[in-house]
Structure 1
Amino acid sequence: MGETIEYCHYSRYIKMPGKLLEPIDSMAKIGLNKDEQEILQGFVHNKAEQKAGYYDKKIAEMKQKYDMDFSTFQNKVYLREAEIELEEWNDFVLWGSYVKAHRYWAQFC
């Protein structure tokens, strides 16, 4: 039956026959023509803009909720002497992930 390839997809391991990857592999060896490259680059650029916009919106919601930017909120959380509220801690973790994800996708815009 041939080689089996296993990869993780959304925390699930999936096994698939290696033959399924052969057309992609051969395309990479042949090389994409310029039009195909431009189409793929446009697709990645558009998807990155969508993702960055989504995270912009999420960051703006957090800014509005706490009336401060992330670095100010981060200092507030770290410098707090009393215990932090669970909602604030959850928002801190979420907000940090939004900032990190936005930086990641913005590099492709």
Structure 2
Amino acid sequence: MGGFLVYNAEGRSLVIDANIGERFSFYCPKEECETEIVIEGVIRHATFDEFVRVRDHIIEQNKEFKVLRDVLPKEPVIFEGTVNGKKVKLPVEKLDEAAKRFINKYLTK
């Protein structure tokens, strides 16, 4: 299993353990996520263009995710499935890539 950040699941960025291409379910209770979140679907490979379209659509929906404009993954992946029963496509970033991006941006000068 790998660690991934799924962006804009009910306005949240969530860390998910999943395998690329395999269906999974994830539950975050109200006490942890401020609202109950149920995610079901698959994290799958995407073309770079598809990733950018999904990412930009999310930024249009929720300006808080404008920092994702800096996300240019080596291996683009997206989540496709449902969040609380609503069909969605969401941008995903491998956790190790997110960590490297954070370190490069904030901890190295």
After TM superposition, the score normalised by the length of structure 2 is: 0.24
Of Structure 1 and Structure 2, which has the larger fraction of its residues in helix?
Answer: 1
Of Structure 1 and Structure 2, which has the larger fraction of its residues in strand?
Answer: 2
Rg: which structure is higher?
1
